[in-house]
Structures are given as C-alpha cells and as structure tokens.
Structure 1
Amino acid sequence: MILLDAIYINNSGGKILLDYLIQELEKSEKKVFYLLDSRVEGKISYLNGSKNEVLLIQASLLNRYKFYLKNKNRFKSVLCFGNLPPNIRLNAVVYTYFHQQLYIHLPKDASLMLKVSFFLKRQLFKYFFSNTDYWFLQTDYIKTNFATKFNVDPEKVIVFPFYPKLIENPNVERIKHSYVYVSNAPPHKNHLRLINAFCSFYDKYHIGRLTLTIDYEFTDLLEIVKEKINLNYPIYNIGFVQRDKLSKIYRQSEYLIYPSTAESFGLGIIEAIENGCKVIGADLPYTYAVCKPSLTFDPLNEQSIFEALSLSLSENTSPSYAKISNKIEELISILK
C-alpha cells in the first residue's frame, strides 16, 4: 500500500497540485492511504466514494509522530507531499516532494520574522532529512541548488514537475495592453513594487490595466489597492479565483507579469503561457527554469519593472514558451 502524507498542505498552489495528484492516483487504481490536513475537510469531494482510506488530522508534529509510530510497518512506499520527511525512519521506500525554495534561499529583502521562521524550519528539516530515501523536485534549477545546499547525492534527487491543465475558455477576447498577476500576497510575492511601478507606467503612458488576485486576508495591501483605484488607476483586484475561471482571466490578458522574489516552480507562469499570454518575468533563475520569457526585470527595482512595462508596448515583443512538461504519469508509476 502507498501512503500519501499531505498533512501540511491546505491552500494555494500546493493544494492545487495535491488535488491533481490525488485524482490521478484514484484513476490509477493503486491502493492508497491518504493522510490529509483536517483543514481540507469539505474541499476533497473527489474522494467521495473512494475505495481508499482517508484520514484527516490536525497538522502538528505530535499528531504526525503518533501516526507514523503506529503505522511504521504498514506501507510499502510513502510519498510525503509537503517538504518534510517522516518524523521517524520507516520500513518503506520513502519519497519526499520538495517544493519550497525558501528552505534553500531567502529573498534579499526578507523580513526578520521570515528569516527567523525559516531558520527554525530548516533546523527541523535537517533533523528529519535522513528519514527519506529519495527527493522529488520540480525543476533542474531547484535540483542543483538543493543538492548543493544539503549535500545530497544527485542520484537521490529526481525532477518530476506536474500540474493540472486549466479548463479552456476559447471564446474570450484578449485585451490589448492588459497585465495580470495571479498570486496570493505574502511579502515575497512582491505586489507593492508591481503596483507602484504600474502606476508610474500609467502616469506616463495613460494606457494599460492591471488585474490582481489578492485575497481578503491581506488587508494592508488591499487598502493600498483601494487607494490607487480611488485615484483612477485601472487596477482590478478580483480576489481568489476558482480554477475553472482562471483560463478566462489569462485569455483576457496580453501579459502575465510575475514579480515574485522566490519560487520553486511558478505554476502561474506555465498556466499563462498555455493560455496564450506573454510573460514579463523576474530576472531570477526560477523564471528561466520554467520558460523563455518575453521580457524581464529586476524584481527589487520599481524602475526596472516600469521599464519592462514600457517595453511591452512594442509591437515586436517575442512570445514566451514553456521549458517543462507534465510528468505526473512517471511519478505515479514509481509508487508501488
């Protein structure tokens, strides 16, 4: 039997990938035990009627330890989906899917709180490090940095990017000089610099519109957006967008602009390209790991973002293309 441990995944891009992974595992008819975060209760309807076992528990080190202690010999293979290997060594082949770049490197402008938080998380990560046999990662760039940072045998690190395709909305008219940033808004997502740069761009050219997807919990940033809108800047915050609506948002936009200062994958970049957007991306390795962008900028420099927006007005901007492919079938085939 396979154990899928996703106890620390409950929202954002991780939840999107988890949903897709579980649905593909269900199609495979493999025998799986799903250990999930109690916060996803009511959000996993695709498991209704499943023949596999599902256990929802409160995400904590203690609860996870108790589960592993009780089930140490039960599983043939284990996939920990959420960066952290098991609390103890198991009598099973263990794979850990690592998808948090911040364990490797923090942005230059990271807050003190973020630095302290990830210092503590790294200590825990290192403590459990030897409890896995293999690591699954999303890009070759992350693989290289991960192997160097943690002194791992590259043969134990396997690149397995995977992502669900969006439901297509083909009959949508693309709006000229429109920019979209599909992302929630923790500090490293860098919304404030983008907003300021876009406003400077609009002041000069009086053209363009910016669509954001900032959720209600980011009150300080939403207040800034509201102030800009009241000053007649064409900024549209549409909040959290369900996946069945995302394709339409991308297909309405000419450009995806992606100023994040740290990413392990950048799912939104792939989704945007597959839906016909050109990419204006941060001049950082994670961008080049997944695509050839149309334009780039220094994400820590508002003037650089402004200049990239200005260059996007050219009629000769080259298209963007993706460099990775979906390897969900290969990943699932390894699990026994």
Structure 2
Amino acid sequence: MGPDPELAFGEAESSRRLIIHAPNVHSGGGAVLLNAILRASAGSREVVLICDQRMKVDPEAQSFLITRRFAPTVFGRLAAEREIRNIATESDLVLSFGNLPPIYRLKAATALFLQNRYLVDAAMPLSGFRPGARIRLSAERVWLKRRLRNADRVIVQTQTMAALFEQRFGRKAEVAGFDSRQPESLLNDYAASKKLHDFTYISSGEPHKNHRTLIEAWSLLSEGGVTPSLSLTLSTSDNANLLALVEKTNSQKHTRIVNLGQLSASEVDSAYNNSGALIFPSLGESFGLPLVEAAERGMPILASELDYVRDLVVPAETFDPRSPRSIARAVCRFMKLPPDLNVSVTAGDFLKQVCEEKP
C-alpha cells in the first residue's frame, strides 16, 4: 500500500522534496509547461528532476535543481523508472509529468499529470500516424491502463479531459488550477493594427492538428477574393506532404501561406507578436497551450467549436473544424468584428495544486 495521498499532499507538507519524473518530455508544449513549473518551484523546496537528456532546462531554474538525465531509448526509460523507484521515499512528493504513471509502486505519494488526449480518448484513431508513432502510442495506452494504480492522483488540464478520463478508466481526475475566467472588459479593434501576418497557427503537424482542412479553407477564401496571410510552424523534416500542399495551394490558388518552421520559445513569441489573430482548427486537445498563450497576449482567437476550446477561452469566432467552408466563413466574420479575450494561467497555481491542495 502506498502512503495516504491526503496526508502526503496536504498543506502541512508543502516543504517536502518534490521529484518531477519527466523522462519523455523534451520539446513542444510539454517542455514549455515543465520549464514554467520548474521556475515556479525554484527556491521554494528541494526539487529533483528526472528527465530526457535532450530537455533544455531554463537557466533560471537550473541552479535550484538536482537533475538526472536519461537517454531517449527503451533502456534509458527503464533506467529512469528504476531511478525513481530507488530514490523516492515516504517523505517525498512525486509528480509523474510525462503522461504515464511509474512502472513501480513508489513509497512516495504520486500524482500523474496527464495531457495526451490520444492516451485517454479511444475515439481518436492512430491511423494517421507513422508506424513507429502508432506502435509507441498503442504501447503507452496499455502502459497507462495497466499501471494507473501506481498513481494516487491524476491531474488533467480541462473538464473535457476529466470527463474523458472518468469515462475510460472509471475514476475521477482533478482539473489543474488554470484560470479560465473572462476578464471584465475586452480589448477593441485589435486587428485594426497592421501585422506581418493576418493569422497564425502555432502547431506541429500531427493529423489531428487538421492543417489540410485549414489550407483548403484558405483556398476557398482566395476563390472568393479574400486573401488574408497565414503563418504556420511546421517542421520541415517531418511534414513534407503538408508543405508540398502549401506550395501547390499558393501557386494555384494565389493564397498567402508561409511556413516559419519549427520555432524556439523566443521565435514563438515573435510569431505571436507579428500576427493579428490565432486560428486553431485542431480536432482535439488535452489542453491547447497556444490558445492560452494567445489569450494572454490579448490576441483574438478563431477556433474549433469544441469543448476543449471553451474549457480555456471564449474565442472571437468558432467553426466546424471538419468543414473548410465553415472555417472560411468564420475568417470572414472575424475580419469585420474583432473581439478579444485575455486568459491567465500560471504554473504557480498548478504547482500549488500538486503539492499543497488535498484531493
């Protein structure tokens, strides 16, 4: 039996050592959030980070950490699992950050942070992934199901993910302390100022990100004489087919779509600053970090009319993400009436819930 999670994560235990187990996090939104949590924890307690050797830890947090790195291989992952089994004690708090619970039952109270919707939502097919990714995700689904008992608590980022998790696994998940309250006032006429790009889609190129439908929507807009500019952030090494489609659409339909490539954190910030609005046609997300990032910057958001979006923001316009025409019509509506929303999300709130609040 593990420790009593209500005691282990109670407010009286806030000075306990925190072990963050993140051996499969090194890029994307997971790395951004992990660094934010590390910065928020800096100096407040002893923190041990078990991570992928490719993870770039924010220098602001590095000096406060004890870091143990492991190779991004099967053997490296197993070594990381043995490491946390060996070092975790009853007096520690463990945050299992990489979507999967520990293989072993730990002496420490353990919270699982689950942010990959593919592991929870059986309705999301894996057929659009490359064979290697399909095998990995299938294996992780099995891992999650069989080892979920090793997590005292499960934390997700939205009510939608919590409902999916309960439906799939028959137990409740906590929703992290992200602030999704609407501000008292909205900024007006944001899009009136000229930007380098009218719209941006900050996203990788996985199938559920829905780039093909977005590109088809831009083709429809051009056919109607509307040619807003759109920037994408696709890795040039992993998205050859999508980039070929962009080039073909620009050539044949005279659209204005540019690919900025895979961006660093500072380059992402610049992409937001150079864009008039975020467009987000994803078919499903466990969280949707760009929605929050855009809202924090006061950017208007056009997004799928799906629960995961409204868990976080109130978009300026919404659309059916499976319909290019619906997306195109939302763009046209937005170009006439630009509202805005600001959302505040802090890593400190998340860390407080993990380490101090009772389940």
TM-score by length of 2: 0.80
Q: 1:63 aligns with which of 63, 69, 79?
A: 79
Q: Does 1:52 align with 2:65?
A: yes
Query: Is it true that 1:291 corresponds to 2:310 in the alignment?
Result: no
Alpha-carbon contact 1:250-1:276 (below 8 Å) kept: no
Per-residue CA shift, 1:55-90, capped at 9, x if unaligned?
A: 110243422332234335376110111111111111
User: Aligned pair in 2 of structure 1 residues 117, 180: CA closer, same or farther (>3 Å)?
Assistant: same
1:328 aligns with 2:348: yes
CA distance in structure 2 between the aligned counterparts of 1:206 and 1:46, rounded to whole angstroms: 45
C-alpha separation between the residues in 1 aligned to 2:339 and 2:208? Answer: 28
Give the direction of change, closer, same or farther, for the CA distance of 1:203–1:106 in structure 2 (3 Å limit).
Answer: farther
Distance in 1 (CA, whole Å) between partners of 2:48 and 2:157 is: 24
Identity of paired residues, percent? 24
Contact 2:21 2:84 in 1 (8 A): no
1:34 aligns with 2:49: yes
Q: 1:262 aligns with which of 273, 279, 284?
A: 284
Any residues of structure 2 matched to 1:181-200 within 5 Å, and which?
181-200=201-220
Inter-partner Cα distance in structure 2 for 1:296 and 1:263? 16
Q: Out of 241-250 and 214-223, give the one that drifted further.
A: 241-250
1:282 and 1:299 in contact (8 A); partners too: yes
The answer to whether structure 1 residue 6 and structure 2 residue 22 are counterparts is: yes
Out of 226, 229, 236, which is 2:247 matched to? 226
Q: Secondary structure in 2 aligned to 1:291?
A: coil
Q: Structure 1 residues 239, 3: CA separation in 2 closer, same or farther (over 3 Å shift)?
A: same
Per the alignment, in what secondary structure is the counterpart of residue 54 of structure 2?
A: helix
Shift of 1:297: 1.2
One of 97, 103, 116 as aligned partner of 1:81: 97
Which residue of the partner structure matches residue 160 of structure 1?
Answer: 177
Structure 1 partner of 2:156? 137
Q: In the alignment, residue 19 of structure 2 is paired with which amino acid?
A: L
Structure 1: tracts of 5 or more residues without a match: 164-171
Task: Evaluate the alpha carbon distance shift between residue 47 and residue 35 of structure 1 in structure 2; reply closer, same or farther with a 3 A threshold.
Answer: farther
Residue 109 of structure 2 is aligned to residue 93 of structure 1: yes
Aligned equivalent of 1:242: 264
After superposition, the Cα gap between the structure-2 partners of 1:119 and 1:126, relative to the gap in structure 1 and judged at 3 Å, is same
Report 1:265-276 matches (<5 A): 265-276=287-298
Describe the shift of the 1:48–1:293 C-alpha distance in structure 2 as closer, same or farther (beyond 3 A). Answer: closer
State how far apart, in whole Å, the 2-side matches of 1:150 and 1:126 are.
8
Q: Give the counterpart letter for 2:211 in structure 1.
A: H
The 1-side partners of 2:148 and 2:197 are apart by 47
Please, which runs of 5 or more residues in structure 2 have no aligned partner?
1-16, 181-191
Considering Cα pairs closer than 8 Å and 6+ residues apart, tell me whether 1 or 2 has the greater RCO: 2
For this pair of structures, how many residues does the alignment match? 322
**1:167 — aligned with what?**
none
Q: TM-score, normalised by structure 1?
A: 0.85
Deviation per residue, 1:220-240 (Å, 9 max, x gap) = 212222233344421111112
Residue 205 of structure 1 deviates from its aligned partner by: 2.1
Task: Give the aligned CA root-mean-square deviation in angstroms.
Answer: 2.9
Alignment match of 1:277 (pick from 266, 278, 299): 299
Q: SS at 1:215's partner residue? A: coil
- 3-state SS in 2 of match to 1:39: coil
Aligned partners of 2:350, 2:202: CA distance in 1, in Å? 28
Report the CA distance between 1:289 and its aligned residue.
Answer: 0.6
Question: Is residue 124 from structure 1 mapped to residue 143 from structure 2 by the alignment?
Answer: yes
Q: Is the 8 A contact 2:19 2:48 kept in 1?
A: yes
Alpha-carbon offset, residue 173 of structure 1: 4.8
C-alpha distance in 1 between matches for 2:339 and 2:230:
20
Report the equivalent of 2:170. 151
**2: CA distance, partners of 1:248 / 1:39:** 24
Letter matched to residue 288 of structure 1: R
Contact 2:317 2:334 in 1 (8 A): yes
Partner secondary structure for residue 299 of structure 1: coil
Secondary structure at the counterpart of residue 16 of structure 1:
helix
Q: Match of 2:53, as an amino acid?
A: S
Q: Is the 8 A contact 1:107 1:262 kept in 2?
A: no
| Secondary structure of 1:91's aligned partner | coil
